Structure 1
Amino acid sequence: MSQQVVLPGFYLHQLAEVVAGYGVNTAEWLESLQVPQPQADNNAMSLSWEQFRQMVLQACELTGEPSFGLLVGQRLLVNTHGILGYAAMNAGSVRQGAELVEKFLSLRTDLVRVEVEERDDDYRLHFIERFDLGDIRQPVLEAIILAIKNVLDFIAMADANACTVCFPFAPDADSGFLQSLFRCRVQYQQDWAGIHLPKELADKPLLMANSGSYRDALEICQKELEKIQQNSSLTDRIYRLMLSNNNSFPSLELTARYFHMTPRTLHRRLQQEDTSYKDILDQVRQRLAIQYLDSGKMTVQEVAYSLGYSEVANFRRAFKRWHGIPPSDYLKQQ
């Protein structure tokens, strides 16, 4: 499945503006990547995964800035996120704003999804890659999470200082710089990526809440989401369905029923998109296998079981086909 990255032109425009600030001729640079000049508006731009990946990698190289993602993220304030940002500005609580992000983040980016997790006094926005971001994982996650933290800062005002931001990799910036950007505690080399906040902050009424404006914005968000879902390929929709179910993958028959078609019709439609149910399931398993192993919390046997393999040997063979080495060797390299 060829991955397309869809982002508002404004986001890519800000990325190019950061690069331009380092004296780079961005028109020539973007032309070499065969990327159209991004406009400072919220119209969607679609790039191939490789175009987007090279854009981020070369931006980091051209600027020589290890914290490039953070420099982009700091430019993405609440008023840059279109109708989603407007809805958040009128939310009645941080919880309501967080649930907006969880449901409608795909209106702004399909690179990650958000799961709101709540346990006792623990309230988290957990950012999960929709597919393996590979060598641009750090700048992308830093940019997106800082952008969402900017939203929380606006709607919760000074109370957002009580948040903690977590990243699953080592920092490329000093603590003072990070504090100036996030205005809260930042922890790197954690086992997850996201924002943690006290539950009392999540439920505190917001001063700027406007229930009428919120309902109107929510209705527009829902219509926009339905439009995206209708226009996306069947392959993408099944891929996302499987990811949302994690280790409880629906069978071909159940998947067909979910999309209101027979298994034969589903198979034919996927053939027209040069893929199959089996191929999509294989890609989802491949992605989740790396995610589970990288977490360091699961054994090879547990990963195999979680991915629906009845025999560990079958998982080992599949992993070696994907990555050229057995999962045990991958763990040793990690």
Structure 2
Amino acid sequence: MPTAAWLEHLGINPDKFVKPQITMPWLTFRQLVLDAGRFSNDKTLGLMVGERLLINTHGIVGYAALSSGSVRQLVDLLQHYLVLRTDLLTVGTSERDGEFRLDFFENRPLEDVRRSIIEATVLAIRNVLDFTTMGTSEIREVTFPFDGDERLAESVFRCPVAYNRDLAGFTLPLAAIDTPLKMANKISFQEALKVCQQELDQLSTEQTWSARVRRLMLQSRHGFPSLEMTARRFHITPRTLHRRLVDEGTSYRAVLEGVRHQLAIQYLESGQMSIQEISFALGYSDIANFRKAFKRWEMLAPSEYLNAHRQ
């Protein structure tokens, strides 16, 4: 199918892509990735795309990365501003046993395009890291939580790659992440950071309030913020936030319910957590309340859903 006809079928107008910021509905983007995989007949689409996502394809975020003072500063940049490139994944970090770990968490179930999106994103970040460190980043291992082509992945990442692990991400030597980068430019970095923040502010104002609340909940790794804390993050009163959500036909409780439903499915299908652990992670003090809520969502108990998924 010709490219123009394909995009028209998906309702995509290429002329809009001249703008610095462009968003696309999830269903449209998912179909775009599925079609690309089908047309190319290539299960390694994510690696093929990620290999082409070099630092100069990331706009102001790439420029800020280029001027970063250290790997730690670069990672901090990604944690705050990756959303300017994609809102499908969130970056998390940890330090243990002399290693610095960079992980990528799904902000929503990525369904049948999960492998393509995560492989492309992780490889794109690896490209950024490799360029800013002039090839001295010393990535020790890359991991993915699904099946994949290990030989091909190792050829593009140029380091050991392991599939079917708990998380997507990679490890670096902790001793190297604070080493000054040769291309560091403090003034350029600060100027680029200002533009990143401006674009983030613009992106936030273009979103619905329910989408902003949902994103904040998904990015919270230590329990969901209350209505009051959420409102404080947005510098408005709880009453104002409640009214704005009602104007959009929803509520804080409804958004929280949707996030819990999404994460419950994701956790169950990952097979990494028990039902009791999932209940606790989703903020239920009583596992019976979680079972009751899940049955309301899926018309099945969590254990029944898990058995059906395994079959």
Instruction: Flag whether TM exceeds 0.5 (same fold).
Output: yes
2:160 paired with 1:160: no
- Equivalent in 286, 299, 302 of residue 324 of structure 1: 299
SS in 1 for 2:283: coil
Aligned partner letter, 2:6: W
Distance 1:90 1:255, change over 3 A: closer
- Equivalent in 59, 64, 83 of residue 87 of structure 1: 64
Match of 1:74 in 2: 51
- Equivalent in 159, 175, 196 of residue 171 of structure 2: 196
Q: CA deviation at 1:294?
A: 4.0
Q: Distance in 2 between matches of 1:235 and 1:286?
A: 16
SS in 1 for 2:115: helix
Residues 214-253 of structure 1 aligned to structure 2 (within 5 Å): 214-246=189-221, 248-253=223-228
Q: Distance in 2 between matches of 1:199 and 1:126?
A: 15
CA contact (8 A) 1:74 1:147 kept: yes
Q: Distance in 2 between matches of 1:111 and 1:124?
A: 20
Q: CA deviation at 1:150?
A: 0.5
How does the TM-score come out when normalised to structure 1?
0.86
Bigger drift between 51-60 and 295-304 goes to 295-304
Match of 1:117 in 2: 94
Q: Distance in 1 between matches of 2:8 and 2:56?
A: 29
Q: CA deviation at 1:55?
A: 0.8
Bigger drift between 61-70 and 288-297 goes to 288-297
Q: Distance in 1 between matches of 2:233 and 2:71?
A: 33
Distance 1:73 1:38, change over 3 A: farther
Cα shift readout 1:295-331 (whole Å, capped 9, x = no counterpart): 4443212211221222212211222232333211333
Identical aligned residues as a percent: 49
Distance 1:225 1:289, change over 3 A: same
Q: CA deviation at 1:42?
A: 6.2
Match of 2:248 in 1: 273
Cα shift readout 1:31-85 (whole Å, capped 9, x = no counterpart): 1111122677562222221111111111111110101111111111011111111
Cα shift readout 1:59-113 (whole Å, capped 9, x = no counterpart): 1111101011111111110111111111111112111111111111011111111
How does the TM-score come out when normalised to structure 2?
0.91
CA contact (8 A) 2:81 2:196 kept: yes
Match of 1:147 in 2: 124
Bigger drift between 291-300 and 107-116 goes to 291-300
SS in 1 for 2:23: strand
Aligned partner letter, 2:11: Q
Q: Distance in 2 between matches of 1:303 and 1:40?
A: 40
Distance 1:120 1:143, change over 3 A: same
Q: Distance in 1 between matches of 2:164 and 2:77?
A: 27
Bigger drift between 138-147 and 113-122 goes to 113-122
CA contact (8 A) 1:247 1:307 kept: no
Q: CA deviation at 1:291?
A: 3.4
Q: Distance in 1 between matches of 2:267 and 2:84?
A: 27
CA contact (8 A) 2:16 2:22 kept: no
- Equivalent in 291, 301, 313 of residue 266 of structure 2: 291
Long gaps (5+) in structure 2: none
Aligned partner letter, 2:129: L
Q: CA deviation at 1:202?
A: 1.4
Q: CA deviation at 1:293?
A: 3.0
Distance 1:179 1:78, change over 3 A: same
Q: CA deviation at 1:217?
A: 1.4
Q: Distance in 1 between matches of 2:78 and 2:196?
A: 11
Count matched residues: 309
Aligned partner letter, 1:54: Q
SS in 1 for 2:254: helix
SS in 2 for 1:205: coil
- Equivalent in 297, 306, 309 of residue 284 of structure 2: 309
CA contact (8 A) 1:160 1:184 kept: no
CA contact (8 A) 2:56 2:62 kept: yes
Residues 19-38 of structure 1 aligned to structure 2 (within 5 Å): 24-37=1-14
Q: Distance in 2 between matches of 1:255 and 1:148?
A: 30
Q: Distance in 2 between matches of 1:253 and 1:160?
A: 42
Aligned partner letter, 1:58: D
